[in-house]
Amino acid sequence: MVYPSTITDIYAHPGISDADLESIFRAHVKVFFYKGDLILTEGQFSNAYYCLEKGLVRAFARNIDGKDITTGFFSKNEIVIEVASLFLRQPTRENIQALSDCECWMIGYEAFQELFEKIEGFTEWGRTWMSRALLANKQRSLSMITDSATNRYLSLRREQPEVLQVAPLKHIASYLGVTDSSLSRIRKEVAQMGR
């Protein structure tokens, strides 16, 4: 069977056989979101995660002043997920929004749990994915403390260039921890330096 590249890329793991991949694929459902759609809203329980085939998605929370702060971006072949809500079964404190029209493969919590218990390779894949996600989260936290805003911008441009092409500047600025005007200055300086 031929699977969408998103599925084969995301679930690439030496412990997942072709038969396992078929079971995993069959647990997913194709879903679509339109630009501006809220996939998950603060206060809801997350009951699924999404393998993003096309589009750009952002996660954001509201600070104590009610201002949206972007906490993450998801692009092609990434998993759109709110980990705490999904796995701890608690209401989310984040919102997840489509920044463009999106195509995804959704897997529900119950189907995920069933696969996790039945397929050893899927269990190993899940542990590996979670370890990588924890490491990325730690690196982002440290970057916000130790790296200049310019270096954070350059890292985002290198690691997720589609964010700079699609996301509104205000979302990029809040993700980088700078004001809109500071981001404009950084972009101008980077362009002048030819970086």
- Considering only CA atoms, which of 166, 186, 161 is closest in space to residue 58? 166
Crossing angle (nearest 10°) for helices 149-159 and 180-193: 70
Task: Flag whether pLDDT at 194 surpasses 90.
Answer: no
pLDDT digits (tens, 9 = 90+) for 133-187: 999 999 999 999 999 999 999 999 999 999 999 999 999 999 999 999 999 999 9
Distance CA 46, CA 101 (A): 21
Q: Which domains does the chain have, with CATH numbers?
A: 5-118 (2.60.120.10)
What is the Cα–Cα distance from 82 to 96, expressed in whole angstroms? 8
Q: How confident is the model at residue 193 (pLDDT cuts 50, 70, 90)?
A: confident
**DSSP per-residue codes, 11-57:** T--TT--HHHHHHHHHTEEEEEE-TT-EEE-TTSPP-EEEEEEES-E
Q: What is the mean pLDDT of residues 35-51?
A: 97
| Banded model confidence at residue 3, pLDDT cuts 50, 70, 90 | confident
Distance CA 176, CA 46 (A): 26
pLDDT band for position 2 (50/70/90)?
confident
Beta-bridged to residue 107, according to DSSP, are 28, 49
- CA dihedral angle for residue 100, residue 104, residue 109, residue 111, rounded to 10 degrees: 170
Please give the average per-residue pLDDT across 13-24, as a whole number: 95
Q: Would you state the pLDDT for residue 30?
A: 97
- Please state the pTM of the whole predicted model: 0.93
Do 119 and 111 form a contact (C-beta atoms < 8 A)? no
- pLDDT of residue 192 exceeding 90, the answer is no
Report d(CA 103, CA 174) in Å as an integer.
Answer: 25
**Residues of the chain with pLDDT > 70: what percent?**
99
Mean pLDDT for 34-47 is 97
